[in-house]
C-alpha cells in the first residue's frame, strides 16, 4: 500500500537561509511520481515541484529543489534563500503511474523568522 | 485558465441536515477529485471521476456521501444526514492525464456541523 511519512510537524528557519523538509514514502510500484504542495494560511493548495521515479536528475523549480534518493525512498524538499512568504504548510504527495489517486503526508508547518 | 472553483466557501449546518457542494474544474481537465482535510492533516482522498465516470470511492465515503459529475463537467458532493464528524474542509481538484500532471485545487468548502 502507498504511504507518505513526514516526520517534522514544525520547522523554523531564519530568513535567507536554506531549509530541508523531509519526506519518505512506501510503494511496491517501480513507476511513480512525487509531488510537493504548499498550503499558506489562506488555505489554497499550490503545486511546487514534481519528481518522476525514473528521472535521473533531481528536480528543480526556482528556489525549490527535490533531493530524491530512490533506494532510501526519500524525496526531501529543499527551499533555498527562505522568504517570509514561505511560511506555510508543506505536503509531500505520491501517485503511482498506473493509478490516479494522489496520497498525501500529514504535512510540515514551516515558520520563517525575520 | 480560470482555475478550479468551489461553492460555497463556507457552510454551517445543523446535524441531520443535507448539504451539497459544487466544484467547477479547469475546463480542459478530464480528471476530477474530491478530498477531505481536517485541521493539521493532509488531504484524504474521497473519490475520483474520469470524465463522467466515478472510478473509485474511498472507504471514508460512507453511504451518506454521494458524488456526481454529469456530462463530465462540474461535480457535486452531497452529504446526507450530516454528523459533527463531517466538519472539515472539502477540497476539489482537477488534473489532466499524464504521469507528471499535478492536482489543481480549488479553495475548498469549509463545512461546520453544529
Which tens digit of pLDDT belongs to each residue from A54-80?
A: 998 999 999 999 999 999 999 999 999
> Which set of grid coordinates corresponds to residue B97?
492525464
Q: Where are the alpha helices (H) located in A1-114, listed in sequence order?
A: none
Q: Are B42 and A91 in contact (CB under 8 A)?
A: yes
Place of cell 489554497: A44
Round to whole Å and give the CA distance between B1 and B26: 7
Predicted confidence at residue B1, as pLDDT, reads: 56
How far B80 CA sits from the closest chain A CA (Å)?
Answer: 25
Contact B104 A47 (CB under 8 A): yes
Higher pLDDT, A56 or B60: A56
Cα R_g (chain B), whole angstroms: 13
Q: Which of A33, A45, A89 to mutate to test the interface with B (most CBs of B within 10 A)?
A: A45
Q: What is d(CA B49, CA B69) in angstroms, rounded to the nearest whole number?
A: 7
Nearest in space to B35 (alpha carbons), one of B4, B71, B1, B81: B4
At A103, is the secondary structure helix, strand, or coil? Answer: strand
- Does position B14 have pLDDT exceeding 60, yes or no? yes
* pLDDT exceeds 80 at position A88: yes
Task: Give residue A1's pLDDT.
Answer: 78
> Considering chain B, what is the average pLDDT of its residues?
94
Share of chain B above pLDDT 70, in %: 99
- The strand ranges marked E within A1-114 are 3-5, 10-14, 19-21, 24-26, 32-39, 46-52, 60-61, 64-69, 74-79, 88-96, 102-104, 108-113
- Residue A49 clears pLDDT 70, i.e. is over it: yes
**Band (A98; pLDDT cuts 50, 70, 90):** confident
Q: What is the pLDDT of residue A94?
A: 96
Pairing mode, strands A60-61 and B109-113:
unpaired
Chain B residues in contact with A91 (beta carbon < 8 A) = 42-43
Of B114 and A56, the structure prediction assigns the larger pLDDT to B114
Mean pLDDT of B8-25: 98
Over 80: is that where the pLDDT of B91 sits? yes
Q: Is B42 in Cβ contact with A104 (below 8 Å)?
A: yes
Contact A57, A69 (CB under 8 A): no
Residue A52 CA to residue A97 CA, distance in Å, equals: 9
Out of A45, A47, A50, whose CB is closest to B91?
A45
Residue B15 CA: distances (Å) to CA of B64, B80, B95: 13, 10, 33
Q: Quick: pLDDT tens for A17-47.
A: 999 999 999 999 999 999 999 999 998 999 9
Measured between beta carbons, the chain B residues lying within 8 angstroms of A35 are: 102-103
Amino acid at each position: 500500500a502507498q504511504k507518505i511519512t513526514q516526520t517534522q510537524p514544525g520547522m523554523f528557519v531564519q530568513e535567507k537561509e536554506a531549509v530541508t523538509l523531509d519526506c519518505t514514502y512506501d510503494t511496491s510500484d517501480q513507476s511513480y511520481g512525487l509531488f510537493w504542495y504548499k498550503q499558506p494560511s489562506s488555505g489554497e493548495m499550490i503545486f511546487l515541484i514534481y519528481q518522476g521515479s525514473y528521472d535521473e536528475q533531481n528536480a528543480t523549480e526556482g528556489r525549490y529543489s527535490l533531493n530524491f534518493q530512490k533506494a532510501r525512498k526519500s524525496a526531501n524538499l529543499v527551499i533555498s534563500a527562505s522568504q517570509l512568504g514561505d511560511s506555510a504548510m508543506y505536503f509531500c504527495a505520491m501517485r503511482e503511474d498506473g493509478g490516479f489517486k494522489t496520497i498525501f503526508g500529514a504535512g510540515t508547518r514551516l515558520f520563517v523568522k525575520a | 485558465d480560470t482555475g478550479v472553483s468551489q461553492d460555497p466557501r463556507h457552510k454551517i449546518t445543523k446535524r441531520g441536515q443535507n448539504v451539497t457542494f459544487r466544484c467547477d474544474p479547469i475546463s480542459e481537465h478530464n480528471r476530477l477529485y474530491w478530498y477531505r482535510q481536517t485541521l493539521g492533516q493532509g488531504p484524504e482522498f474521497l473519490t475520483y471521476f474520469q470524465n463522467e465516470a466515478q472510478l473509485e470511492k474511498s472507504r471514508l465515503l460512507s453511504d451518506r456521501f454521494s458524488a456526481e459529475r454529469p456530462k463530465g463537467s462540474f461535480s457535486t458532493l452531497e452529504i446526507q444526514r450530516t454528523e459533527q464528524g463531517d466538519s472539515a474542509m472539502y477540497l476539489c481538484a482537477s488534473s489532466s492525464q499524464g504521469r507528471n500532471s499535478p492536482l489543481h485545487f480549488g479553495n475548498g468548502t469549509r463545512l461546520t456541523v453544529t
